Amino acid sequence: MKFGTKTIHAGQKPDPTTGAIMTPVYQTSTYIQSSPGQHSGFEYSRTGNPTRKVLEDNIAALENGKYGLCFGSGLAAIDAVIKLLKPGDEVISTNDLYGGTYRLFTKIFENYGIKFHFIGMENLSNIDNYINKNTKLIWAETPTNPMLNIIDIEMLATISKKHNLTLVVDNTFATPYIQKPLELGADIVMHSLTKYMGGHSDVVMGALICNSEEIAEKLFFIQNSCGAVPGPMDSFLVLRGIKTLHIRMERHCQNGEKIAGFLINHPKVEGVYWPGLKSHKNHNVAKKQMHGFGGMVSFDLKGNNLEDAKKVVENTKYFTLAESLGGVESLCGHPASMTHAAIPKNEREKTGVVDSLIRLSVGIEDIEDLIEDLDSSLSLLV
Ligand SMILES: *Cc1c(COP(=O)(O)O)cnc(C)c1O
């Protein structure tokens, strides 16, 4: 089955009792047992729910993985991964990272005795310096947020395997339409389904996908023991969103390319960060591992003035100023004061998150309207 067919059919078949084409919302917490311990596959909805199960199977199929698990949010999925570790264990993580992931690692899990090293991963020549006998896991986000750096997953997987580590890739920005980390050697793929996968800015949810039965069993044990599971209605909504993932992503990529091209020629713009640009520092790696370059575009302004950046994001009309990304509608954000406010200024500036940086989640509206919107907002700068 090819990708576009999988988005619509994988894991799903018409309901055998009623013939309903769409997966029903099994709004139930429990299931009948014919005799103690005898049931038809489901016993309690924290452990398993039929609507969630269909979604989990669908997502696993999209990533070409064997096992899928859904969680109440992307962060709940990340939380489950780090719970594979024990006090004393060490993690090497991308430094240009989703702000909430950074907060979870440093403000929650460091208290439980897990040590995190945050490093740039576009150049992997120094990663060996951080690997010791306590190192257990590598956490990578690519493209990174918000700088859209690209990390070579295949090369990272080689290093990870050599040292017997678990490589986890946050694939939220790319989605399996663009990039399939398991095929490139990752052990676990993580998603915030809240973003492109759900695609309509109406649900918060997360997922993990893997191929190893051993890892899947551990993750399932954590999912069931800790209980951060999504409800059936939300699972239904994400399943519905995924049915158009391939055509939405195609349009996100096209619009992203046109917006990047517009910005790069604009006199008020300093730098444009989009992996499809030939001038992007990791463009060759992006070309190798990605099928399309996505709809996330970041840029900063000449003069690097905070007030200028505020003026731009406050005056767009289709690019709504809001957290989040990946929906059909265009959004804009100011990472330094929004998504990345939890990261200290000197830390964030090291990775390029300067005061004038603006991050766009380019939606699937008509491109002429989107360009006109940005053009008129940028024209307010003197
Ligand atoms: C949003 C996001 C998360 C966290 O997911 P939630 O669903 O908000 O909990 C993690 N990683 C990336 C790259 C994200 O964009």
Find the CATH number of the domain harbouring 220. Answer: 3.40.640.10
CATH code at position 281: 3.90.1150.10
Choose one of 190, 220, 242: the last residue of a domain: 242
Min mean pLDDT across 67-76, 116-125, 287-296, 365-374 is at 116-125
Min mean pLDDT across 171-175, 213-217, 242-246, 347-351 is at 347-351
Could you identify the atom of ligand 1 that is nearest to the CA of residue 141?
13
Same domain, 38 and 79: yes
Same domain, 213 and 310: no
Same domain, 205 and 296: no
* Rounded mean pLDDT, 213-232: 98
* Rounded mean pLDDT, 69-76: 98
Choose one of 242, 258, 286: the last residue of a domain: 242
pLDDT at 271: 97
pLDDT at 275: 98
What is the rounded distance in angstroms from the CA atom of residue 364 to the CA atom of residue 372?
Answer: 15
- To the query of whether residue 46 is one of the catalytic residues in this protein, the response is yes
Tell me which DSSP letter residue 353 carries: -
- To the query of whether residue 288 is one of the catalytic residues in this protein, the response is no
Could you identify the atom of ligand 1 that is nearest to the CA of residue 204?
7
Q: Report pTM.
A: 0.96
- To the query of whether residue 53 is one of the catalytic residues in this protein, the response is no
Q: Which residue has a Cα nearest atom 11 of ligand 1?
A: 98
| pLDDT reading at 351 higher than 90 | no
Closest alpha carbon to 238 in 43, 95, 4, 58:
58
Q: Please tell me if the CB atom of residue 373 comes closer than 6 angstroms to any atom of ligand 1.
A: no
pLDDT at 216: 98
DSSP letters for 144-186: -TTT-----HHHHHHHHHHTTPEEEEE-TTTHHHH--TTTTT-
Closest alpha carbon to 141 in 96, 92, 179, 176:
96
* 3-state SS assignment for residue 303: coil
Choose one of 209, 242, 275: the last residue of a domain: 242
* Rounded mean pLDDT, 113-118: 97
pLDDT at 58: 98
The two structure tokens encoding residue 328: 């059909």
Say how many Å lie between the CA of residue 99 and the centre of ligand 1.
9
| pLDDT reading at 259 higher than 80 | yes
Say how many Å lie between the CA of residue 171 and the centre of ligand 1.
10
Residue-wise pLDDT tens digits, 78-96: 999 999 999 999 999 998 8
| pLDDT reading at 344 higher than 90 | no
Q: Please tell me if the CB atom of residue 99 comes closer than 6 angstroms to any atom of ligand 1.
A: no
What's the domain count of the chain? 2
- Share of residues in the chain with pLDDT > 70 (%): 100
Q: Please tell me if the CB atom of residue 204 comes closer than 6 angstroms to any atom of ligand 1.
A: yes
pLDDT at 382: 81
E strands within the chain? 67-71, 90-94, 115-119, 135-141, 166-170, 188-192, 206-210, 269-273, 296-301, 320-321, 331-333, 358-361
Q: Which of 75, 95, 175, 323 for mutating ligand 1's site (highest number of atoms within 8 Å of CB)?
A: 75
- To the query of whether residue 300 is one of the catalytic residues in this protein, the response is no
Q: Please tell me if the CB atom of residue 194 comes closer than 6 angstroms to any atom of ligand 1.
A: yes
Same domain, 216 and 273: no
Our CA angle for 190, 322, 293, nearest 5°, is 50
The boundaries of the domain holding residue 274 are 245-378
Same domain, 201 and 255: no
Omega cis (within 30) before 16: no
Same domain, 161 and 308: no
* pLDDT confidence tier of residue 97, bands split at 50, 70 and 90: confident
Q: Which residue has a Cα nearest atom 5 of ligand 1?
A: 74
Same domain, 51 and 184: yes
pLDDT at 262: 98
pLDDT at 118: 94
pLDDT at 96: 84
Same domain, 9 and 126: yes
Residue-wise pLDDT tens digits, 184-221: 999 999 999 999 999 999 999 999 999 999 999 999 99
What is the rounded distance in angstroms from the CA atom of residue 10 to the CA atom of residue 12?
Answer: 5
Task: Return mean pLDDT, the chain.
Answer: 96
pLDDT at 350: 85
| pLDDT reading at 311 higher than 90 | yes
pLDDT at 64: 98
pLDDT at 176: 98
Tell me which DSSP letter residue 275 carries: T
* Rounded mean pLDDT, 60-76: 98
* pLDDT confidence tier of residue 241, bands split at 50, 70 and 90: very high
Q: Which residue has a Cα nearest atom 4 of ligand 1?
A: 74
* Rounded mean pLDDT, 166-179: 98
| pLDDT reading at 342 higher than 80 | no
pLDDT at 340: 81
Same domain, 199 and 331: no
Same domain, 132 and 255: no
Q: Which of 93, 193, 195 for mutating ligand 1's site (highest number of atoms within 8 Å of CB)?
A: 195
Same domain, 275 and 182: no
* Given 195, 248, 348, 359, the catalytic residue: 195
Contact yes or no for 159/168 (Cβ under 8 A): no
Same domain, 147 and 24: yes
| pLDDT reading at 343 higher than 80 | no
* Rounded mean pLDDT, 12-35: 95
